[in-house]
Amino acid sequence: MKRGFLNGAKAKRESQLRDESDSMVHTTIGDDEQVSECFFHHGTKEAFMKIPNFPEPLQVTTPAFRMVDIPGKGAGLVSIRELKMGDLILNERPLFVAAEELCLAIPPKGEKYFEASLDRMRPEAKTAFMALCNCHKAEENAGGALVGLGPLLGIVNTNGVSLSLPAAADPWPQGGQTRPYSAVCENISRLNHSCSPNTVPQFHAASFSWRLYAARDITAGEELTRQYVSIQHPAAERQAALKQIYDFVCACPACTDPSISDPRRATIAAFAATHHGKQESSVVGFSSLDNDRFAECRTQAELIESEGLQHLPVYSTVLKLLIEASVVRMELSSACQLARKLDKCRWVDDRDAYQDHPLWRALVG
């Protein structure tokens, strides 16, 4: 099902969008190497500029991928060498960033919000942007009505990677939450979806760039994938969302036969919900776990690994709990093994909080 033109509340929504876009500004962020064209709320760029040395240079990476045709999926990226969990695959600034509410704008009006950003792009960036896939192309349906989106909104809606700006970069958060943005990238937007993805993109505010990490070991020639939708949800829900937003049917093993995967993912989701936002583990605080909780955490870690969901925050949560409990139990070789795994989760947000601690370094070796 493609997104169609909206009817009922169209006028109201258009005026909301006009107000919204009036409060926004086209701006450029980056350096000689790569720049991003952004359609930002007023004050957002200024907030970024307060980060010392902003924008930090991009990290240099050894070439790790190439773009190829993937049967049934269009273009995609494959690894050109063996990658280890935690390896940095690429580091790039988005071609374009805009508030998500504008990306959902009503066509054809919505197109105009992005035209100015496109006009500001360097020629090679514009070519890369316009070459991206568009699964929302406007076309006539059986009744002769035009459904789909204009070319720019279509590309943004097909290729946007959700981006939550750091709290300090959103001058007017709504309800205490930073407002979501959508970022279109030359390479990361070429990653196809998997419900057991082998990469994870992490936005690095100080360099205004996405860092793409290997979420587990990857062999040379393997397709690189990322998650498009919530992959703890049951296969039927994932399929419905993928069809509606990206117009394809996922044929990964977890979708083809969900009988084992769905109950496992439900268990992982329930565990993640119980632990969400709790400061149970500091990695160097050494909390203990009773035998049942210890066994439950071990099972969770195994389930997450067998489902290929190591990129999810719950994986690092469970590793931290197990590391600390293993130390308390004097199971030191197990603690070291788990710490080395956690050390490879380079995309974990609170890494800085523990990785310099001497006890942590002793465990990782």
Ligand X SMILES: C[S@@+](CC[C@H](N)C(=O)[O-])C[C@H]1O[C@@H](n2cnc3c(N)ncnc32)[C@H](O)[C@@H]1O
Q: Which residues bind ligand X (CB under 6 A)?
A: 72-76, 132-133, 135, 158-159, 189-190, 192-193, 246-248, 250
Q: CA 361 to CA 348: how far, in whole Å?
A: 17
How far is the first Cα of the chain from the last one, in angstroms, to the nearest whole number?
A: 52
Q: Which is nearer to ligand X, 158 or 178 (CB)?
A: 158
**Contacts of 239 by beta carbon, 8 Å cutoff, 6+ apart:** 249, 250, 255
Which value, in Å, is the radius of gyration of the alpha carbons in the chain?
22
Q: Which is nearer to ligand X, 74 or 173 (CB)?
A: 74
Q: Nearest distance from residue 157's CB to ligand X, in Å? A: 9
Q: Which is nearer to ligand X, 118 or 135 (CB)?
A: 135
Q: Nearest distance from residue 16's CB to ligand X, in Å? A: 27
Q: How many CB atoms lie within 10 A of CB 332?
A: 12
Q: Nearest distance from residue 54's CB to ligand X, in Å? A: 28
Would you say 51 and 44 are in contact if contact means Cβ atoms under 8 Å apart? no
Tokens 């001058």 map to which residue?
171
Q: Which is nearer to ligand X, 178 or 232 (CB)?
A: 232
Q: Which is nearer to ligand X, 24 or 133 (CB)?
A: 133
Between β-strands 192-193 and 24-30, what pairing exists: parallel, antiparallel or unpaired? unpaired
Q: Nearest distance from residue 232's CB to ligand X, in Å? A: 17
Q: Nearest distance from residue 304's CB to ligand X, in Å? A: 21
Q: What angle do CA 201, 202, 208 make, to 5 degrees?
A: 115
Q: Nearest distance from residue 134's CB to ligand X, in Å? A: 8
Number of residues that make up the chain: 365
Would you say 344 and 365 are in contact if contact means Cβ atoms under 8 Å apart? no
Q: Nearest distance from residue 222's CB to ligand X, in Å? A: 14
Kindly provide the b/e burial profile for residues 37-71, where b requires at least 16 CB atoms within 10 angstroms of the residue's own CB. Answer: bbbbbeebbebbeebeeebeebeeeeebbeeeeee
Q: Which is nearer to ligand X, 107 or 197 (CB)?
A: 197
Q: How many CB atoms lie within 10 A of CB 266?
A: 13
Q: CA 105 to CA 49: how far, in whole Å?
A: 28
Q: Which is nearer to ligand X, 254 or 338 (CB)?
A: 254
Q: Nearest distance from residue 136's CB to ligand X, in Å? A: 9
Would you say 326 and 318 are in contact if contact means Cβ atoms under 8 Å apart? no
Q: Nearest distance from residue 249's CB to ligand X, in Å? A: 7
Q: Which is nearer to ligand X, 36 or 192 (CB)?
A: 192
ω into 108 cis (within 30 of 0)? yes
**Contacts of 215 by beta carbon, 8 Å cutoff, 6+ apart:** 85, 197, 198, 199, 200, 310, 311, 347
Q: Which is nearer to ligand X, 132 or 345 (CB)?
A: 132
